[in-house]
Amino acid sequence: MADVALEVDSFGLFVYSTIVITVPRQAGKTTLDLASSIQNALLGKKRRTWYTAQSGQHATEKFLEMVELWEECGIRQLAPVARRSNGSAALPFVNGSKFRPFAPVEGALDGKQADKVSLDEFWYWTSQQYAVLRQSFSATKLTRQMVTGQRPQTWIFSTEGTVESTALNALLEECRSAEPDPTVAFFDWGILEDDDPFDLDRIYERHPGSGFLFTREGLDAFRAEFADSPGEFARAFGNRRTGATERVIPVEPWKRAAWNDPTPPAPGRVCFAAAVGVDGVDTTITATQLHGPGTLSAVVKGGWMEHTYGALDKLRELRAKYPDAGFIIDPYGPSAALHDEAERDGFELIPVKTADAVAATQGTVSGIQNPSGPTWRYRPHPKLDAAAELATKRFSGDGTWLFGRRASVGSISALESANLGSYGIHHLPAVRAFQLG
């Protein structure tokens, strides 16, 4: 990777301004990043190389690990005294160059010179976070080439991410496109799409660290550490996003819970629920009614949209058509803005707290898997099927859990909406009757 990433043209300038590396855990990326940062710092006097990760604390901790690695390498006379103080940690070189960590926040590198910027654990970042940070260091990189005579570089390191990894996902889409950016060097390590993510022999075969940084027996030990989270193991060591292997709703019970009878359910009050996907990637509105011993949910016509725009208008339309209906929206997370909009528009929303969401989730899962027959039913819809496949657990206390957005590898807004609706139908506000004065 270094051989390609550090290629120079006929003028001695780096060919690539951006290096994107997706790689499994235990592959040696820390050593590569340290080596390339030191190499960059030694290209000339008073150069500046920077490192950050998912937070300022993580960046400092990882940087200090790299300092320890440097001090063990036997050539520390090039940078004999490292600074470890929080806020001023640095590896200063005898030529006046410095390698430093920084926090990934707005303005972090404003006014700073940058010859190499390393962004580690990039899967934690959203597109908004990346855009804000990039503004901080991009301006100085534009003028830096004129000062030093060398093209600055940005190195991006990460394993594959989740649905919340909007910065990484967008970047990988560009890198894997038919016409990638020629100024980007892209390295994509991991198992193939058709590989079994739990075939340890295959993972060992495809992992760049196998035989160098761990043995085949060592991979067994890593797998044991992820016994309760097989999907996370596939992401961490196969470098592949996958949700199908970690279903919290088994396939067969989910299929049995589908309600395919075209006959409309018996008349009754309805609860409309709305949920927004992470980063506003989509919005789903469902309708839930009491049905037999349980509930029946369905995505309303036109109730799934590839954004949040128009969601409030759709809710207004439903309110006008069904004046006795209840409405429920999660006041936390990605749906918070829609919840606020609806409240300001006069919707009398059913209150829901985290404990209520936990209770709803347990009720949904147990209703689907009821041994006597499903009591939580749904009208088949592609977005519901996809969400049920992708949904994973997010623990919220002593053994309690909800459907986890971050650990899921695609939007689960349809399932979240139906889940909330099945809670809301049991907590509808009383119908206000006319009173004669």
CB distance 216 to 36 below 8 Å? no
Per-residue pLDDT at 242 exceeds 70: no
Are both 281 and 417 inside the same structural domain?
yes
* Chosen domain end from 229, 246, 263: 246
Task: Give pLDDT tens digits for 305-323.
Answer: 988 889 999 999 999 999 9
* Chosen domain end from 181, 216, 246: 246
Cα-Cα-Cα-Cα dihedral sign, residues 218, 220, 225, 229: positive
**Model pLDDT, residue 401:** 83
CATH of the domain at 55: 3.40.50.300
413-424 helix and 382-390 helix, angle to the nearest 10 degrees: 100
**Model pLDDT, residue 228:** 60
Picking from 386, 387, 420, 379, the residue whose alpha carbon sits closest to that of residue 404 is 387
Task: Give pLDDT tens digits for 384-420.
Answer: 988 888 787 877 766 678 887 655 556 899 999 999 9
Are both 282 and 385 inside the same structural domain?
yes
> For residue 238, is it within any domain?
yes
Are both 61 and 80 inside the same structural domain?
yes
Q: Residues in the chain, how many?
A: 437
Interatomic CA distance for residues 387 and 427, integer angstroms = 25
Are both 28 and 75 inside the same structural domain?
yes
Interatomic CA distance for residues 331 and 343, integer angstroms = 10
3-class secondary-structure state, position 404: strand
Q: Which two tokens stand for residue 36?
A: 């390339």
Q: Which two tokens stand for residue 193?
A: 């799409």
Picking from 120, 115, 77, the residue whose alpha carbon sits closest to that of residue 97 is 115
Are both 228 and 281 inside the same structural domain?
no
Q: Which domain holds residue 204?
A: 193-246
Interatomic CA distance for residues 418 and 422, integer angstroms = 6
What is the average pLDDT score of the chain?
89
Are both 302 and 342 inside the same structural domain?
yes
> For residue 355, is it within any domain?
yes
Are both 115 and 255 inside the same structural domain?
no
Q: Count up the domains in the chain and report the number.
A: 3
CA 173 to chain centre: 15
> For residue 318, is it within any domain?
yes
Cα-Cα-Cα-Cα dihedral sign, residues 166, 168, 171, 175: negative
Task: Give pLDDT tens digits for 177-225.
Answer: 888 899 999 999 999 877 887 789 999 999 999 999 999 999 999 888 8
Are both 160 and 197 inside the same structural domain?
no
CB distance 409 to 345 below 8 Å? no
> For residue 432, is it within any domain?
no
Interatomic CA distance for residues 346 and 316, integer angstroms = 10
Q: What is the dihedral of CA 262, 266, 267, 270, to 10 degrees?
A: -80
For residue 338, name the pLDDT band (cuts at 50, 70, 90): very high
Q: Which residue has the tokens 């036997």?
A: 74
> For residue 136, is it within any domain?
yes
Average pLDDT over residues 251-273: 90
Task: Give pLDDT tens digits for 141-163.
Answer: 777 888 898 999 999 999 998 76
**Model pLDDT, residue 196:** 80
**Model pLDDT, residue 264:** 78
Distance in Å from the first CA to the final CA of the chain:
82
Average pLDDT over residues 254-280: 89
**Model pLDDT, residue 86:** 78
DSSP per residue over 38-51, as a string?
A: HHHHTTSTT-EEEE
Are both 6 and 144 inside the same structural domain?
yes
Between 405 and 101, where is the model more confident? 101
